[in-house]
Structures are given as C-alpha cells and as structure tokens.
Amino acid sequence: MIISYFEEFPDYKSLSKIKSITTPTKLYIAARSLAEFNQLKTQIRSKNVREIIYWPILEKKEGYWISPFSHHTALKRILDELNGQTISVMLDLELPTTRNPWLFLTQFPFFYSNKLRISNFIDTYNGKLYLCEYYGQRSIHKKIFRILGLHYYAPHAYIIKMYYQSIHQFSHQFLEDQIKRGKHTWGNNFILALGTIAKGIHGTEPRLTPEELAKNLNEAKRHDIEEVIIFRLGGIDEEYNKVLNAI
C-alpha cells in the first residue's frame, strides 16, 4: 500500500516535509495554473516521490473547487490549458458551498454547459486522471452526485473518496463498510483519502489523532487498498511519522 499526500498550500515549509518521508509516495499539489504547478514541481526533490499530480484550483470568488457551479470562464480557463497535456491531473469535485455560495445563482444558467465541459474533459483527457469526490457510495448518492455534476462514469479514472473522520466523526465500522464497498465498485481504481492532520481551506478542520490515523491505515491495508492519501503533507510531524513508519 502506497501512502500519498495532498498539499493544498504548497510552499517551502509544507513541501519540505517530504524530506521526512522514507517510503515511496505520491504528491497531489494544488495550483491555480499549469505554470504555477510546474514551478512548484521544481521545489520537490526526493527520490521517494514516484508521481506528482496537478490539483487545479480556482480563485475563491470563482468557486475554488471544480463543479458545474464554478464560474464558467474560470472553468474554461483551467480545463482548456490542459488540452494536449499528458500530466497526471486530479479534479477536486466539490460544490462552492462555503467559498462563494452566490455562484449557485449566478452560474445556474451555465450549469449544463459547465457540466458538459467537465464531462468532455474527463472522457477525452490523455493523461492519468484522478477524480476526488465526496464520500457516499450507495446508488442514491451516485444518482444525486451525478445530477449535480460531482460524479461521472469514468472507468479509466481513479476514484478518490474523502473519508475525513476528524470532521465527520463516523465509526470505524462505517469506514470498514465503505472500504469494502469502494473496493467492490472500483477495484484497484479506488483510492481512500484520510484525515485531516492539518487545517485546509476552511481553516477550522480538526486534526485526526495519530492513534485514529493508525487505525484507519491498518483498516485500509487489511482490505488491500493500493493507495491511501493523507490530507495533508504540511501536517506531518514526529508523532504522525511514527505511525507512518509503523505501517
């Protein structure tokens, strides 16, 4: 099982944490443009990093995450610059609920064209593609997410489900059931995201204890999950490193 990391706020301090990672890993790096991502990649020097994935984000006023409610010009800008590229890309499919809820009104006329733009990108992109989604894997969840443009039929893509126990306070039995369901549905294309061990864009995300992280990682390992992503790299410290080195 490979343990990877999101980094939502890549800077010298957060990216330098990669030096403490002693096993093969992958990094998902947030950036507002392809040029910014390429510049950040030059700061990452570690023989243990096997893959660096571009995680495109928008300005807060544009919706920040990718969805049919993102500002239509921003969505076009971020996807068009990936035309012809083959780098690994992760689309973070979330609603702009907290970043700019006015977009639900102002972008509603563009909902279907935005949804089609995202769908076409997913269908035609030539590089490795990761889709990061809300958790919830029952048929009703998939239908709702598909209607909202937060889930797409993409058998070639890797599906990342965010199970942040520190935020949602679900039980370990729930997590185990969801791991089994995800593995059954997507096989080795299913990726588990765990956390949080550092604050994200909301600024209020509670930290998962090292003990809880260890339980979550061991559960994933027990069910032969090939990749787990931890949110986020900048939260790595001595306590978390002890857990990671013991897996």
Residue 206: DSSP 8-state: P
The model scores a pTM over 0.85: yes
Q: Which of 113, 36, 131, 19 is nearest to 70 (CA)?
A: 113
Let me know: does 187 contact 226? Beta carbons within 8 Å.
no
Q: Which helix (H) or strand (E) holds 91?
A: strand 89-92
Residue 99: its pLDDT value, please?
Answer: 83
CA distance 211 to 231: 16
Determine contact, residues 175/212, Cβ cutoff 8 Å. no
Cα–Cα distance for residue pair 2/158, rounded to 1 Å = 14
71-92 b/e with 16+ CB inside 10 Å = b? Answer: bbebbeebbeebeeeebbbbbb
Task: Give SS3 for 208.
Answer: coil
The residues that bridge with 52 in the sheet, in sequence order, are 27
> pLDDT at position 247, please?
87
Q: Give dist(CA 199, CA 87) in Å, integer.
A: 27
Mean pLDDT value of segment 160-181: 94
My answer on whether omega of the bond before 222 falls inside 30° of 0, hence cis, is: no
Residue range 173-218, pLDDT digits in tens: 999 999 999 999 999 999 999 999 999 999 999 999 999 999 999 9
Contact 126, 86 (CB under 8 A): yes
The whole-number pLDDT of residue 136 equals 79
Element (H, E) at 139: helix 139-147
Q: What are phi and psi of 203, to 5 degrees?
A: 85, 0
Q: Averaged over 75-103, what is the pLDDT?
A: 95
